[in-house]
Structure formats: structure tokens, C-alpha cells
Structure 1
Amino acid sequence: MSLLFSILIVGIPTYLFFNWVLKKWNIGNKSNRKFIAIIPAICLSPLLYISIIYIWFFTASYYPTTNFNKNEWHTNTTERYKMSQDIIESDLLIGKTQKEVSNLLGDDFYIYNSNHIAYQLGFVPGLFNIDPDVLDIYFENGIVVKVSQHET
């Protein structure tokens, strides 16, 4: 029922638009123009509705990414997520010791165990995202072997 109502919300303006276009281009006569405008309105309304939802999802979950900057990392802790993709994809931390990681990223990490630490990244923009993300760093024999990100 609500889907039908939502499509009608898009369908009525679509119908009015096509009715106006048909009148402007002088297609059909006054009595049948209303019926001719119904056809594209019925066909295009669901497509427009899906397009609007898709655009809304895309814009709500988009966030810019930037290259890692040590000063920005330390000063803007709530937007560290912007640099996390660069840290992961560039393998910036792979092969470093925990001390080297601490010198680069700071001492404000959480220790899960001797082989796993995590840095708070802030709230990544997105739909239904209510928990902050963290940058997980995994060690083997004191050397970073894996870096990943997840929502807490």
C-alpha cells in the first residue's frame, strides 16, 4: 500500500508533466490528451521512483577519501575515516613494528590483545550507521601483517 502511494506521489507530477508536454507540442486533442499522458506516466513513474531512491542511497552513503596526513590524523580524530582507505590500500603500515605504528598514528589506540590494536576512526557517513568505525591492525611476531576497518 505504501509503495503504491509512493509511486502515485511520483506518478501524478509525471502525468501532469506529460500532459503539459503533449499540450505544448500540440499532440492529440483536448479530450484524448489526458488519456495519452497516462501511458508514459504509468511506465515511467516506477522507474523515476527507483531512480530517486538510488540517488538518495548513493548520496547518503558517499564520503570523500583523502591521502594519509599525520597532522590531520592527530588533529581531526572524528574524521579519520577519510584517511583509512588510503592507509589500507597503500599498505602504509604493513611491515612496521608497534612502536613505528605508534609514532605514526599516536598512542590513542585500543589493545585487544598483543597481536591486535585498533584506532577510532569516527562515524562514517552512511545509512543506518550509528556506530563508529575502527582501524584494526594485526601483528605477527611484532610486525604488522594486516590492516582492516570495521564498524564497532
Structure 2
Amino acid sequence: MAKKIQIILAVLALAGAISYFLIDANEKQFDETQWHIRPLTRYKMAKDIVSSNILLGKSQDEVEDLLGKAVPSNLEGRDHLVFDLGKAPSFFEAAAESLVVIFEEDKVVKVLHSRR
């Protein structure tokens, strides 16, 4: 019985370590240089861009100076820019990800991390 408990605890500890590694490996602090030279790994910086609010209050020109040229968008409604983030590795089919920057009166008011 004690042996079974040890095995179960070992499996749970291993699963926790693997989960932590996978989550940590897919998140990174925003780095402008890496953003430009490694566009397929931008998804790693998306959470930091959204949570740090580094784009809030910036003009459209300032955002494009920082992040580069936006991709064409078919979204309607608010003034916005869309930036491709690449695809995060996944055990299942990976979804394309994008960063949507929404403007009001030429200032960023919201940044969304979108998976499609």
C-alpha cells in the first residue's frame, strides 16, 4: 500500500514539474529585438504585452514603431491593428494566435490576445 502511494505521489510530482516547464517555456517578457527577429515565437511575449499595459495610451504610429507592420484584418467596428503571434506548441492541434490592439481617438485603449 505504501509503495502505491509513493508511485502516485511521484507521478503527481512529475506531472506538476512538466506542467510548470511547459507553461514557463511558453511565456517570456516582451523584448523588441526578439519580437522582430523571431516572429514565429511572438506568442511567448503576448501575455506580458497584455498584462504589463505597455501599449496603453500609445498612438498607432508608436505601436507600429514598436511592433512593426500589422497584418491586414477583416474585423469590423473599432479602429484596430492585428499582429500575428505564431502558434504555440500543443499536444493537440495548435491554433494561430494574434494580438489585437484597439484604438479610440488614436490612442490604445485595449490589447487582446486572440486564438483562432
- Give the share of equivalent positions with the same residue, in percent: 27
Structure 1 runs (4+) greater than 4 angstroms displaced: none
Q: 1:77 aligns with which of 26, 39, 48?
A: 39
Query: Residue 86 of structure 2 contacts residue 97 of structure 2 at CA under 8 Å; is this kept in 1?
Result: yes
- Give the structure 2 partner of residue 130 of structure 1: 94
- Give the structure 1 partner of residue 15 of structure 2: 53
For residues 99-132 of structure 1, the C-alpha deviation after alignment (integer angstroms, 9 at most, x for no partner) is 2222221113232234232211122244436112
- Give the structure 2 partner of residue 40 of structure 1: 2
Unaligned runs of 5+ in 1: 1-38
- Give the structure 2 partner of residue 67 of structure 1: 30
With structure 2 as the length reference, what TM-score do the two structures score? Answer: 0.76
Output the CA distance in 2 between the equivalents of 1:135 and 1:93.
11
Q: Which has the higher helix share?
A: 1
Output the CA distance in 1 between the equivalents of 2:5 and 2:45.
44
With structure 1 as the length reference, what TM-score do the two structures score? Answer: 0.61
RMSD over aligned Cα atoms: 2.3
Query: Residue 68 of structure 1 contacts residue 87 of structure 1 at CA under 8 Å; is this kept in 2?
Result: no
For residues 36-88 of structure 1, the C-alpha deviation after alignment (integer angstroms, 9 at most, x for no partner) is xxx3213222222222222233323332413332x322221111123323322
- Give the structure 1 partner of residue 59 of structure 2: 97
Unaligned runs of 5+ in 2: none
SS of 1:55's equivalent in the other structure is: helix
Paired residues in the alignment total: 113
Larger-gyration structure (1/2): 1
Say whether 1:151 aligns with 2:115: yes
SS of 2:72's equivalent in the other structure is: strand
